[in-house]
Every structure is written in structure tokens, then in C-alpha cells.
Amino acid sequence: MTMTETPQIYLVTPPEIDAAFADRLSAVLDARDIACLRLDLATRDEDRVMRAGDLCREVAHRFDVPIVVSDHVALVQSLGLDGVHLTDPRLTRKLRTDWGPDPIIGAFCGTSRHDGMAAGEAGADYVAFGPAGPTPLGSGERADPELFQWWSEMIELPVVAEGALDADTIATLAQSTDFIALGEEIWSSDDPAAELARLTAAFTA
């Protein structure tokens, strides 16, 4: 995962996956350059995550797209994945010490600038802030554009914007984030590739 002048697309799987998802994922990866895929299921059942991981890894690696999994650290090596996305950034330092430099370690840091800086110092390859878009869920607190603007000016570590993203929010963040993470924003559409194109038109025109 590398930084560019315009954001790269970071895909997040839907919370539930069936066999038909392979074709939907293939269509999106065939239509657009994707920087990374995150396996992020609602279930914590390891067997279901493993089956989904096999399916998604096969498709992602066919398109030379790295794949990470949310939190299931033990599955990274066994499934041949490229790394992990931690929803608890406090685990970053131990994992980087255990793994060494190669596997991807991403850290979700909510809306906390302090947590982001700590994760970077602990060895994260990227930090993610969110929700970046308007949402009634949770506390309603957002990772506002000023956070991403400050980060892009002060910190070299790549940053991901995620959560409840719409076209207007993406356009606002286009100059201050390295990756735009999209999941249910596109998978809820009948044509995910077309919806992805619509949402990212602000920086792909």
C-alpha cells in the first residue's frame, strides 16, 4: 500500500458473504484499480471466516490485490492473507514485534488523533479514522475533515477514511486522505462497480 496524490480505493467486504460474492467482487476488481481488500464479516465464527477468507483471497490475489482481515490475527498465516486490520490499535506494537516488518498491519483509531499517532509509532502501516461520513449510529461523533487535513499535513503515515461515506464527503476528503474505504456503500447496490464509479467520480474524472 503506497501513497499517491489522489486517494486509492480500499474495499471492505459486506458483513455477510455467500458463494455468489466471488463474481461480484471479481467484477469490481476488474473494473477498477483497488489498493487493498479487507475481509470484515459480522460473524466471529472462525469456520465461516475461514471459508470467506479462502474465497476472497483467491479472487483478490488473482487481481494482485492484497487482502487483510479484521482482527483474526491467527488466520493471516493459515489462510495466506497479507495482513490484519486491528480494531483495537493497542495490539499494534506486540503484533509488529512478533511478525516483523512484512505483513500489513492497519489500525482503526476512531476519531482520535492521539491513538493514530500512537499506532504509527507502534509500527502500523496505515491508520484509519471514522466514521468520516454522517451517521446516526453510535455516538454520532465523526472523524471530521479537519482531522484528515491535519494528518496529511503533519504525518507521513498513510491514512484511510472510512464509515458512512457519501459522494460529498469523499469529494471533501479527496485531497487529504490516502485511501477511501468503501464497503456497504457499494455492496448494497445492484451494480457495485457502477456505484463505486459514482462515489469516487470527484477524484477519478
CATH number at residue 18: 3.20.20.70
Query: Which residue range forms the structural domain that includes residue 151?
Result: 8-76+130-204
2 in a structural domain: no
Query: Into how many domains does the chain fold?
Result: 1
93 in a structural domain: no
End-to-end CA distance of the chain: 22
Give Cα separations from 151 to 53, 75, 117, 156 (angstroms).
Answer: 32, 31, 9, 8
What pLDDT sits at residue 180? 97
Q: Quick one: CA torsion of 155, 158, 164, 166, rounded to 10 degrees?
A: 90
- How would you write the pLDDT of the chain (205 residues) with one tens digit per residue? 444 478 999 999 999 999 999 999 999 999 999 999 999 999 989 899 999 999 999 999 999 999 999 999 999 999 999 999 999 999 999 999 999 999 999 999 999 999 999 999 999 999 999 999 988 766 678 999 999 999 999 999 999 999 999 999 999 999 999 999 999 999 999 999 999 999 999 886 5
32 in a structural domain: yes
**Cα-to-chain-centroid distance, residue 93:** 20
Q: Contact 201/30 with Cβ under 8 angstroms?
A: no
- Residue whose C-alpha cell is 461515506: 165
What pLDDT sits at residue 3? 43
pTM of the predicted model over 0.85 = yes
Contacts of 133 (CB under 8 A, 6+ apart): 142, 163, 164, 165, 166, 169
175 in a structural domain: yes
What pLDDT sits at residue 44? 85
d(CA 145, CA 172): 7
